[in-house]
Amino acid sequence: MKRGRVPSAFADSPGLFRWQGQPWGAPGPEEGVVVVEAPLEIAVGDALVAILMRTPGLDRELAVGYCLGEGIVPNAEAIESVETDGGEVAQRVTLRLRPGVSVDAEKLSKPRFIRSGCAANTPGDWACTVPPLGAGAEVADSALRGSLKLLAAAQEAYKVAGGIHAAGVFSASGEAVVVCEDIGRHNAVDKALGACVLRGIPLGDKFLLGTGRASYEFVTKSARLGVSLVASLSSPTSLSVQLADVLNQTLVGYVRPRRFVVYTHPWRIRRAEP
């Protein structure tokens, strides 16, 4: 599919913006699409906790994944309801918690503005309070390499516009459970994890594959929700490797059709039968 040509089933996506411009050296104007970048407010009760620059779509999933992955909400059972402001494209998502649920008052009192490329953090956020993971999933190397093709096949926005990240949750046998796209790599992870939470899909026996750099948030967000193996098409950072080692999480980088690099806890990956 030529990038910029939008299939009819995808033409009205709120995540795409149509444009008309004059390519340099072309005889006339051309039409195309780019991905949308727009703010979304996330609130827990009456407290605004974050404003994310994101690509519209799966906003409820994004809010749930963000609040759980950041440790703002203690667990999925604490959430009573997830509400949007009712607009065609959501401006705000509010999580209502069950009576008696206690949350970190400090996190509720410090809303953060998070750009599409990276997160905004205070010095205290660097302290990792995530408990180490258990045994988790055992994944065949063929399933890990095969998930790359499934992730690419599901990236509808990338096919027509480019400039957008993806993250997918996969079963240990390599089947795609959910794949989500967003302009922010962390948002894509939050959407994928949040989608599983809202659908009641357990994450302890799954693995996560993302297109963006595997930073420390890639590790901590997924570990908080029990994902024992995370992989990226790109490179990890020094902090993500150190954290994954401490958290008993398998971290994989540079996933390609024929190879990948395992940075921590390689015992979860087994060589497939010939």
Residue spans per domain, the chain:
38-126, 139-270
Is the predicted pLDDT of residue 6 greater than 50, yes or no? no
CA-CA distance, 196 to 205, in Å (whole number)? 12
CA-to-CA distance for 97 and 174, rounded, in angstroms? 34
DSSP 29-56: -EEEEEE--EEEEEEETTEEEEEEEE-S
pLDDT score recorded for residue 87: 74
Q: Which of 118, 128, 180, 196 is catalytic?
A: 118
CATH class of 38-126: alpha beta
| Tokens of residue 87, six digits | 């607009």
Whether 3 has a pLDDT exceeding 80, the answer reads: no
Residues of the chain with pLDDT > 90: what percent?
66
Q: How is domain 139-270 classified at the CATH fold level?
A: Cytidine Deaminase; domain 2 (3.40.140)
Residue 243 has pLDDT above 80, yes or no: yes
Q: What is the 8-class DSSP label of residue 131?
A: P
193 backbone dihedrals φ, ψ, rounded to 5°: -70, -40
Q: Which helix (H) or strand (E) holds 261?
A: strand 261-264
What H or E segment, with its residue span, contains residue 60? helix 59-69
Would you call 67 a catalytic residue per the annotation? no
**Mean pLDDT score across all residues of the chain:** 87
The pair of three-digit structure tokens given for residue 18, joined into one six-digit string = 């149509």
Q: What is the pLDDT of residues 29-46, one digit of tens each?
A: 777 788 888 899 999 999
Distances (CA, A) of 228 to 211, 215, 223, 247: 18, 16, 7, 9
110-150 pLDDT, tens digit each? 777 666 555 554 433 445 678 899 999 899 999 999 999 99
Write the pLDDT tens digit of every residue in 195-208: 999 999 999 999 99
Task: State the DSSP code for 125.
Answer: G
C-alpha 56/C-alpha 90 separation (Å) is 8
Report the C-alpha gap between 102 and 112 in whole angstroms: 20
Task: Decide: helix, strand or coil at residue 84.
Answer: strand
